[in-house]
Structure 1
Amino acid sequence: MLAEVTLQMDAHGIGTDSASRGGRPRYNIPAVQLTHMRDLGFSWMAISRMLSVNIRTLYNHRTRLGLVDYGSFTNISNDELDRLITQVLRQTPGSGETYITGSLRGRGIRVQRWRVREQLRIVDPVGRALRGRRAIQRRVYNVSVPNQLWHIDTNHKLNAWGFVFHGGVDGYSRCITYLRCCTDNRAATALQLFQGAVDEFGLPHHVRSDAGSENVDIARFMIENRGANRASFMVGRSVHNQRIERLWGEVNRVVSAYFKDLFLFMENVGILDSTDPLHIRALYHVYLPRVNRSVDEFVRQWNNHSLRTMESRSPLQLWTVGMLQLPQHVRLNHVHVQPPYYHHWDVDLMQINPMIDDGNHGIEHFLTACDLLQRYD
């Protein structure tokens, strides 16, 4: 993500394509830069303003690069749109119109809002009616620039079955920098996820969190890289960690609630015993990839959904525009870190494919994993 923004800033300079001829040299605007900014949902007028290029000059470059119609509405049938919306709702049943639009945009599909609204009314009429009854009173909260302050925290909505969500969000843009479901709440896990986000988005100036022990390694990392006695890592109550707490409300509604109801159902009918280590191990193998698929879908939705109070820009758009306005030495002030943390499973369980989504919610795969582990126990 940071590399694409750096490429965008490089295009502000003037190339030397016509140095041997008189007149003003031609702007050098790479095609990959225009396609990336268009994929984020920016209009051509907004792109011309960000690059400080006249809209007619930009049009000439688009014509030369064959990008005149790039980023226009996708020619997709209603049946295909229904299939995609149903697929998204299967992963995140609580998603509404803006989240569905963000999910489609994250897949490179642009459709009119009225089409999403009409198809959603057909595919999910009950959920649409329930979402319309909720009204949220939001407080005003502002951070000056991207990467000025990140909010991090862990969510324990599924902790009864050993699942923990680790997440971080940029305070300026609301962009999710990392979000992952793991099976532990260790400081090393939180640090590796945080380092993966730093490698992609850059090193924040400040981090705000609560006093949980899982944040100790992140605090050391921030102090080592940003310095002491400058609020590199701020500790406070959860009520002051507004951005991430607001995000958890959406994660709970769109992702966690579905799996919580499913696990409670499995316990009520006697399929799952949360006190049996064997059952928990099988649950991890079958459902952790499924939960993280839903998490990935939610991140795509959130980072690409429009914000009414921010001129309908998405979190990724806000982050990109904000980074474009920063000086280059500030933008490139980041460190290279290790890749994100992932779990590695025993070879005994690999014959059960947890990535298959056959509509049975994984219950049959869970029972098969339990039988296999009992034979090896």
Structure 2
Amino acid sequence: MMYCPFCGFNLHAETAFCSSCGKNITFLKDAARPGTSEGSEATTDDDLILNYFTEGHSYEIIMDLMATKHNVSLSLSTLKRRLQDAGLARRTNYSPIATVQAAISEELKGSGQLLGYRAMWQTLRQKYSLVVRRDDVMRLIGELDASGIEKRSRRRFVRRAYHSMGANDVWHVDGYDKLKPFGVAISGCIDGFSRKIMWLKCGKSNNDPGGIAKNYMQCVAEFGIIPMRLRTDCGTENGLMASLHCTLRSEHTDEFAGTKSHMYGTSTSNQRIESWWSYFRKQRSQFWMDLFSDLRERHLFNGSYQHRSLLRFCFLGVLQNELDEYKQLWNTHTIRPCRQSQCPSGKPEAMYNVPHRFNGRNCGYPVSTQTLSQYDSLMPAPETPSGEDEEQNRFEELQRQSGLTSPLHWESAVENYISLKNLADI
């Protein structure tokens, strides 16, 4: 027999709360059965019956379990008598509402906040051994967790909301590979708070650590500031940039200083830049993918090294001008409000430069040009594939001999590509 140490009430079953005064009595569980420890199996018939009854089994199932698993034969009248002697009943002697409310509040502090009233009712019966009406549980949850009921009633998957403290809190860096089959790779960076594009560069590769680090250093030199944190995927091309950023941040004393200032993660979790690439494809890159695919279907491009070098020679300047134009347009357009985001709405340029008007602050750290020049002198030169310089020099010489001018738009770039392809006999 077990008694509540607070009010002296006779407890017929092991519970987490006293059914009389509502006090938490979980500390009595270990002392309830001498010679047993927490997690040990029940040994007596009454203990087995108590466990099965608490789990919510019917009388017939309890008798069958006792006979099958424990070789104990019980009649229905015997089972009911033993339950009555233990003071156990499903529809009488209901637990005090204050006790039920305390148990629900305890569950709502953790993963129990995801439970509906039916699942919570089962939890109260099985975990806390409380006797309670399901309607009472529904009413109490409505009082204690109204917002949770509203979310569950929508029957929608609840996504985590992106949160940023302000401009330069997190820069998200990633590469765009949709044009790589044609010899053009793109690297981009976006500020998580304002959604301002910090850089958008195209070149022969976005897998070169020296090239990615150069983009980072040029951007930092342009704005004179480094972000609080930098987020990238786990690609090896981001290693040098991450090292530079952590070194520059090692001089500070905030909680994200040093190595904590860079975050590696999967591409899907780097959501700011990954979601922006979808806008980029819809509004810009799909045109270039279709254009280059048309050249391939016309047998003017076969994917070889020479064809990729020639296409890059003819289109790289035009494509970079396109990227610069789109970057400017994006940074000055208006972003509409979104329920799934806790970040503000407005023009990225304004949100980045005056974050205090959008409930944010500038989280970046200024960096001197002297410090940048010191690290810039230690950076390795970007890698150049073998034969790349020779191919480019050859195409420049052919362009000069044929009198072709550098293209300013995609039509002239296509004409130059076809002409130089015939001249180079590739």
TM range (shorter): 0.5 to 0.7
**Aligned counterpart, 1:322:** 355
Of 291-300 and 336-345, the range deviating more from structure 2:
336-345
The 5 Å alignment of 1:1-377 reads 140-184=161-205, 185-201=207-223, 202-227=225-250, 230-275=259-304, 277-309=305-337, 313-322=346-355, 332-333=366-367, 335=369, 336-337=372-373, 345-346=392-393, 347-348=396-397, 351=400, 352-357=404-409, 360=411, 362-374=413-425
Provide the rounded CA distance (Å) in 2 between the counterparts of 1:334 and 1:206: 18
Q: Is the 8 A contact 2:165 2:361 kept in 1?
A: no
SS of the aligned residue for 1:152 comes to: strand
- Structure 1 unmatched runs, 5+: 1-136
> Shift in Å at residue 373 of structure 1?
3.1
- The verdict on how the C-alpha distance between 1:326 and 1:260 changes in structure 2, with shifts beyond 3 A counting, is closer
More deviation, 309-318/187-196: 309-318
Counterpart-to-counterpart distance in 2, 1:268 and 1:348: 28
Query: What do the CA deviations read for 1:188-239 (whole angstroms, capped 9, x no partner)?
Result: 1111111111112221121001000110110110121112754221100112
Distance in 2 separating the partners of 1:330 and 1:272: 45
> Deviation at 1:264?
1.0
Runs (4+) of structure 1 moved beyond 6 Å?
339-344
The 8 Å contact of residues 285 and 354 in structure 1, kept in 2 or not, is answered as no
Indicate if the aligned counterparts of 1:278 and 1:373 stay in contact, CA closer than 8 A: no
Q: Which amino acid aligns with 1:274?
A: G
2:300 partner SS: coil
Mark the CA change 1:258 to 1:230 in structure 2 (over 3 Å): closer, same or farther.
same
Secondary structure of the corresponding residue to residue 214 of structure 1: helix
**Larger Rg computed on CA atoms:** 2
SS at match of 2:411: coil
Partner in structure 1 of residue 96 of structure 2? none
Which secondary structure state, in structure 2, belongs to the residue aligned with residue 353 of structure 1?
coil
Using the TM superposition, give the Cα deviation of residue 140 of structure 1 relative to its aligned residue in structure 2, in angstroms.
Answer: 3.6
Q: Which amino acid aligns with 2:350?
A: Q
CA distance in 2, matches of 1:258, 1:342: 29
Q: Which amino acid aligns with 1:189?
A: G
Q: Distance in 2 between matches of 1:281 and 1:238?
A: 28
Alpha-carbon RMSD = 3.2
The alignment's TM-score, normalised by the length of structure 2, stands at 0.50
The residue matched to 1:371 in structure 2 has which SS? helix
Q: Which has the higher contact order (CA 8 A, sep 6+)?
A: 1
CA distance in 2, matches of 1:314, 1:138: 25
- Name the CA distance, whole Å, in 1 between partners of 2:397 and 2:344: 52
The CA distance in 1 between the partners of 2:239 and 2:230, in whole Å, is 12
CA contact (8 A) 2:191 2:197 kept: yes
Residue identity (%): 25
Kept in 1: contact 2:231–2:264 (CA 8 A): yes
**SS state of the match for residue 171, structure 2?**
strand
Instruction: Give the AA of the match of 2:231.
Output: R
Q: CA deviation at 1:371?
A: 3.0
Kept in 1, the 8 Å contact 2:188–2:200? The answer is: yes
